Amino acid sequence: MPTPSHLKSSLYFDFRAARRVPETHAWAGLHEHPVVDGGEEGTEDAVPVVDVGAAGAAARVARAAETWGAFLMTGHGVPETLLARVEERIARMFALPAAQKMRAVRAPGEACGYGSPPISSFFSKCMWSEGYTFSPVSLRSDLRRLWPKTGHDYRLFCDVMEEFHKEVRKLADRLLELFLRALGLTGEQIAGVEAERKIGETMTATMHLNWYPRCPDPQRALGLIAHTDSGFFTFVLQSLVPGLQLFRRGPDRWVTVPAVPGAFVVNVGDLFHILTNGRFHSVYHRAVVNRDRDRISLGYFLGPPPHVKVAPLPEAVPHGRSPAYRAVTWPEYMAVRKKAFTTGGSALNMVSTDAAIEPDDAAAAAADA
Ligand SMILES: C=C1C[C@]23C[C@@]1(O)CC[C@H]2[C@@]12CCC[C@@](C)(C(=O)O1)[C@H]2[C@@H]3C(=O)O
Ligand SMILES: O=C(O)CCC(=O)C(=O)O
Ligand SMILES: [Fe+2]
């Protein structure tokens, strides 16, 4: 029976003091599939790299999103010096005293706060990580919970995250346009068609920071449980310590994403899978830990505002066929995913138009949540 997240978060587990991985943090079944290196260029396991500033980027984005659901994005124009400052500030935040971090603990049902990521509430085991979620548009007030005295560190953290958000939100618009062009939409359609225009205009961003402390027995522990991101797409900035793994089928294996300085990993999320009628598929991924070095990552999650229904774009549905998914809002989808976790089903299958589930189930599940 999974432990409610508020119970897990009411006690601070001191990773720094741990000399072994306790039963509470030991996961079974971590080594069911082999792990292969995704950095060997020219091999079929090489994680696609797309220079989004180069000619032909839309076609490369499309290919990567169709075949992997993820890629390493270079040529994006976000200065490496900014990325280095972001990383430095994140490391300082996670190094705050436990009591200070616990002041900002995410309460059950809250979107923002400190502690294990929301997904951890579905599992009885704890992950070898700490996280902090906040909204970049309200970060100055959110961050007061961590730094009530709003001193030097608070100001530097907020300044650098605001600068990062400004750059990366623009980048998200550019990437969205590449994705839509890749689906075959022309510039005029993107600018003129109401549904598509609204996606870019209303897209929201959430930031989630991860700290994976070094671990005395990394084979027994897990940094972040395997999952698909639920939104449209995510930019992941990982420190130079690898740990992110993407799941590939045929044969089933985990591919380690190489740490490429200055690159973002782009993950396709479930709502983009729905929007593109499954043409761009969401990627199943996890994060592992290692014995010698801490690892930090930042996820910049893009998705629709809570009230907006996401349904397959007509351009993505093959001629003469009906859409493969029904329309859902993000909260409705999260509620379906919650149900999927407890029943062992697949949330995407549960919102597929083929599913033997009543059309109003997503809304009903949302009402229950
Ligand atoms: C916008 C969001 C996506 C996310 C849930 C959240 O509200 C904020 C944290 C995100 C995160 C990060 C770690 C993995 C994940 C599954 C989780 O539990 O929290 C994702 C969520 C998601 O993509 O669904
Ligand atoms: O730590 C990573 O590289 C991945 C993080 C992630 O998947 C997430 O925050 O959703
Ligand atoms: Fe993720």
Please give the pLDDT value at position 355: 60
| Ligand 1, CB within 6 Å, residue ranges | 111, 117-119, 133, 206, 208, 227, 229-231, 299, 301
Report the residue among 222, 244, 265 best suited for mutation to probe ligand 2: largest number of ligand atoms under 8 A from its CB: 244
**What are the DSSP calls for 127-168, one per residue?**
PS-EEEEE-GGGHHHHGGGT-TT--HHHHHHHHHHHHHHHHH
| Ligand 2, CB within 6 Å, residue ranges | 208, 210, 224, 229, 236, 238, 243-244, 285, 287, 297, 299
Please give the pLDDT value at position 241: 95
Ligand 1 centre from 188 Cα, in Å?
A: 33
- What is the pLDDT averaged over residues 281-297? 97
pTM for the whole structure? 0.94
Please give the pLDDT value at position 183: 87
Give the Cβ contact number of residue 362 at 10 Å: 24
Ligand 1 centre from 274 Cα, in Å?
A: 17
**What are the DSSP calls for 4-22, one per residue?**
PHHHHHTS---GGG-SS--
Nearest ligand 1 atom, CA 231: 23
Ligand 3 centre from 149 Cα, in Å?
A: 32
Ligand 3 centre from 227 Cα, in Å?
A: 6
- pLDDT confidence tier of residue 173, bands split at 50, 70 and 90: very high
- pLDDT confidence tier of residue 194, bands split at 50, 70 and 90: confident
pLDDT for 19-37, tens place per residue?
999 999 999 999 999 999 9
What's the CA angle centered on 136, arms 311 and 105, to 5 degrees? 100
| Residue 105 per-residue DSSP state | B
- pLDDT confidence tier of residue 209, bands split at 50, 70 and 90: very high
Instruction: Identify the nearest ligand to the CA of 297 by its number.
Output: 2
- pLDDT confidence tier of residue 190, bands split at 50, 70 and 90: confident
Task: Please state the length of the chain.
Answer: 369
In the structure, ligand 3 is a single-atom ion and the residues with CB under 5 Å from it are: 229
Nearest ligand 1 atom, CA 227: 16
- The position carrying tokens 């084979």 is 219
- Rounded to the nearest integer, the mean pLDDT of the chain is 92
Tell me: pLDDT of 255 over 50. Answer: yes
- What is the pLDDT averaged over residues 243-262? 97
Ligand 2 centre from 209 Cα, in Å?
A: 8
pLDDT for 315-349, tens place per residue?
899 999 999 999 999 999 999 999 999 999 999 99
Ligand 2, atom 9, lies closest to the CA of: 299
Residue 21 CB partners (closer than 8 Å, separation 6+): 128, 215, 216, 217, 220, 221
CA 85 from chain centre, in angstroms, equals 21
Instruction: Identify the nearest ligand to the CA of 337 by its number.
Output: 1
Strand order of the β-sheet with 224-227 is 35-37, 253-256, 244-248, 285-287, 224-227
- The position carrying tokens 């996280």 is 131
Residue 142 CB partners (closer than 8 Å, separation 6+): 112, 134, 135
Residue 243 vs residues 40, 48, 222, 367: alpha-carbon distances, Å: 16, 17, 10, 37
